[in-house]
Chain A
Amino acid sequence: MKVQYQPKQPFLLSTFLVIFIIHANQVGIGIHGFQRVIFLAAKHDAWISVLIAGLATHIVVFVMIKTLQIYGSTDIYGIHHDVYGKWLGKVFSSLYILYCLWIFLIILKNYIEVMQTWVFPTVPVWLFSFSILLLVIYGVTGGIRMIVGVCFFSIALSLWMFAFIGYPLRFADFDHLLPVMESNLVSILKGAHKMTLTIVGFEILYVIYPYMEKKNKVQKYAHMGIAATTILYLILMLLAISYFSPGQLESTIWPTLSLFKIVKLPFIERTEYVAVTFWLLIILPNLMLYMWAAVRGVKRTYGINTIGVLLVFTTFIFVSSLFINTRVKINRFNDFFASVAFYFTFCYPLVLYAFARLKKMMNAYKEKMK
């Protein structure tokens, strides 16, 4: 396996699309209900936690891109191979593939849960997961250019939802935000830690990086994408704190969706039904990107043909989605994932950077010794 990977010219993507890829991959399922989780930890200062989490993401992405820049054009699988060697590298790459599949399952399950609670209580899980997985197979076989197209359109076509912020704003009571900084720093940081599940998604950069046309501009656009997500989360957090009273927010599972409950248009009385079903378009790029990243990982690490791997993965996901079927199980699954994902997305890039640096220094030293 080669460490460097240079896709052919027609497969390269315009660099500015990184904004859409990162934003689309970050915004997904966590956005439904992050306000409550963070509010429980940091009370009405929860918006500060969101800011802190956003800031931490900027730092981690900065380090991630620095790591990739050491190698020029490669992805995380190449770096693993170079840093850990042939066998250990394979172990780490496999872990990364598993991580991608895991988060895929999380997104899928949470979305199905929302759909079942909100709109279709009687439609069985297998039907949702089967049809969504078919869409994912369609996307992944279409290749990365098509998936990025889905990212772009998922954002472009869901911008209208933003216009509805005005409705809850009428009922907003900004006194709820006062006094600022009443919670102590520890609980605010705990809240920021709880943002993990919501804010992950930027780690896709590790896999998508070689496909970017101008590598030196990735940094700029990646930060723009993250800033867009952070601002979106901040707005939704402020809105939720001021629209709901503390007691309400603590008992609402999906505050973002509940915000839609008061939007009343002349031709649609209950906009939240449209929003919930429309959300499929928002989570689709997440699912496609993670599945694509996993399939690519197998191809890069083991050199196995893609279609068969894709089918094995989707079948695996389909079967496991049937077993996580109650709210309690999903919650436990989410919490467990969030605790692992924190180390995987926020701590591991720093470690990897240190290793990559070390490796480079050793190489330079060896050259010198020769």
Chain B
Amino acid sequence: MKKKGWFCFSLSILLLGGCAEPKVLDRLGLITTVGYDLGKNGSILGTMVELKIDPNAPKDVVIVESQSLTIRGIVTNANKKTSRRLTSGQLRVIIYGEDMLKQGKTKIAQTLTSDPIISDMTFLAMTDGKARDLLHLKLEHIPDIGIHIFRFMEQNTQAKMMPSSTMQEVLHTHFTVGKEPVMPIINKNGKEGILFSGVAIFKGAKLVGKINTDQSFYLALINDKYKSGSKDVLIESDSPKLKEGNERSHKTVAALDSIQSRSDIKLINKDKPEFDIDIKLSARLLEVTSSIDIGNPQNMKLIEKEIEKSMKKDIENLIAYCQSKNSDVFGLGDTYRSAVRHSNLTDDKWYKMYKNAKVNTKVDFSVIRTGLNE
């Protein structure tokens, strides 16, 4: 009886372990980055960065292109051109060309989540122009464009320079009523390689506008919590103490560092949507480009007030811009839905309300310290 049991046990282990399709690393081409553009006749042009594990090859990275009507078909078609079987298990970044996203109604990201081999932590990004051109970038100091873009995005997302746009997060906001996704825009930048040049904002799945990296800071200020971060704030003040700037430039700019922030969005009027956005932030003030004496508490108060004012203006501009594009990237609609019982909010309903929603911004800024000098 005992023996029979052991026989069953070992046979099942043998069967379970021995019959699956083997995947030998040497015979695989790992796709690390993929770019999607509009192709001819309504097809999609995919550009894949393929990483080969081959010690003899002079170059590990190959760019493969193929066209197909479906996302899955791109990989299938690309296999016709490669010596190694292409797999998407190591896919880290997906880049969309601008024209692709302008179309809207592209269910590309949804299609990808249906494939279990693709991780939900894959970064999504957009590029002005064609994704193909970005991935074809050949520079001495970037041997592998795929990994380069991935590390670049990872580094900037962790430092909160860039809005985090993993597939999970983009789809999460896309499927939330009253919140729209954002994606960073990555562009070619001459000899230096690539550049984070702005943030794309969406209405549904359709690209409707772009904001610059400066504004993306304020977007993160509203949507997220800063634990560390840095930012230069331009101060436009009438006060003579802050007016001059220095000889180099006649603007007064304050450099903030170690920013900690918290934001709170509240619905204060249900019938005519009106929101209070309350932002509290504190930071280290390291540099001011005018000859103001920051050791003086009164001057410090003045700087704080002025920074608050200039931030408030920028945030209001940002909100006004997003409202004009009808893209609720702040999730005001979600706040509305969770505060109003039986609102039955749908996207269409919210688009109509959002345009005319009133948003009051309040910024509360304080300098915690000024570094080593006063």
Chain A interface residues toward B at CB < 8 A: 117-120, 122-123, 127-128, 130-132, 134-135, 137-138, 141-142, 171, 173, 175-176, 178-179, 182, 243-248, 251, 258, 261-262, 264, 269-270, 272
Contacts and interface: CB of A to CB of B under 8 A. Distances in A.
Contacts of A247: 174-176
B169 A120 contact: no
B104 interface: no
Interface in B15-35: 15-16, 19-21
A264 B1 contact: no
A264 B116 CA distance: 15
B15 A171 contact: no
A193 B9 CA distance: 38
Nearest to A136: B8
User: 3 closest Cβ contacts across the A-B interface?
Assistant: A247-B175, A178-B338, A131-B12
Interface string B3-19: 01110110111011001
A179 B335 CA distance: 10
B89 interface: yes
B159 interface: no
A182 B342 contact: yes
A179 B168 CA distance: 24
A292 B122 CA distance: 45
Given A123-B21, A141-B4, A135 B9 contact: yes
B334 interface: yes
B89 A179 contact: no
Contacts of B13: 131
- The main secondary structure of chain B at its interface with chain A is helix
A55 to B, nearest CB: 25
A245 B19 contact: no
Nearest to B171: A248
Contact of A120 (B21, B173, B334, B342): B21
A262 B168 contact: yes
Given A247-B175, A262-B166, 16 more contacts: A120-B21, A127-B16, A131-B13, A131-B15, A134-B9, A134-B11, A134-B15, A141-B4, A175-B338, A182-B342, A246-B175, A251-B110, A258-B120, A262-B119, A264-B119, A269-B119
Given A264-B121, A270-B119, A178 B339 contact: yes
Given A120-B20, A135-B12, A246 B168 contact: no
A138 B9 contact: yes
Interface string B58-99: 000000000000000000000000000000010000000000
B120 A262 contact: yes
Given A131-B15, A135-B8, A270-B89, A179 B341 contact: yes
A182 B171 CA distance: 24
A248 B116 contact: no
B8 A134 contact: yes
Given A123-B21, A135-B8, A175 B335 contact: yes
A133 B196 CA distance: 55
Contact of A245 (B1, B4, B110, B173): B173
A224 B163 CA distance: 45
Contacts of B120: 258, 261-262
Contact of B172 (A120, A135, A137, A245): A245
A175 to B, nearest CB: 5
A175 B333 CA distance: 11
Given A131-B15, A178-B339, A122 B21 contact: yes
Nearest to A248: B175
Contacts of A171: 168-169, 172
Nearest to B4: A141
A137 B8 contact: yes
A131 B334 contact: no
Nearest to B179: A245
Contact-residue bracket for chain B: 35 or more
B303 interface: no
B177 interface: yes
Contacts of A175: 334-335, 338
Contacts of B338: 175-176, 178-179
A108 to B, nearest CB: 13
A122 B16 CA distance: 13
Contacts of A137: 8
A251 B334 CA distance: 20
Contacts of A264: 119, 121
A262 B4 CA distance: 42
Nearest to B114: A251
A72 to B, nearest CB: 31
A142 B177 contact: no
Nearest to A254: B116
A245 B345 CA distance: 14
A241 to B, nearest CB: 12
Indicate the member of B20, B120, B340 with the most A CB atoms within 10 Å: B120
25 contacts: A123-B21, A127-B16, A127-B19, A131-B12, A131-B13, A134-B12, A138-B8, A138-B9, A138-B12, A141-B5, A142-B5, A171-B168, A173-B334, A175-B338, A178-B338, A178-B339, A182-B341, A245-B174, A246-B175, A248-B171, A248-B175, A261-B120, A262-B120, A270-B89, A270-B119
A141 B4 CA distance: 9
Nearest to B5: A138
B175 A131 contact: no
B117 to A, nearest CB: 9
Given A141-B5, A248-B175, A261 B119 contact: yes
Given A179-B339, A182-B342, A246-B175, A127 B5 contact: no
A298 B121 CA distance: 51
A196 B341 CA distance: 29
A262 B334 CA distance: 24
Contacts of B19: 123, 127
Nearest to B173: A245
A262 B121 contact: yes
B256 to A, nearest CB: 25
Nearest to A44: B338
A118 to B, nearest CB: 5
Contact of A141 (B1, B11, B172): B1
Contacts of B173: 245
Nearest to B334: A175
A247 B178 CA distance: 12
Contacts of B335: 175
Given A130-B15, A135-B8, A123 B20 contact: yes
B25 to A, nearest CB: 14
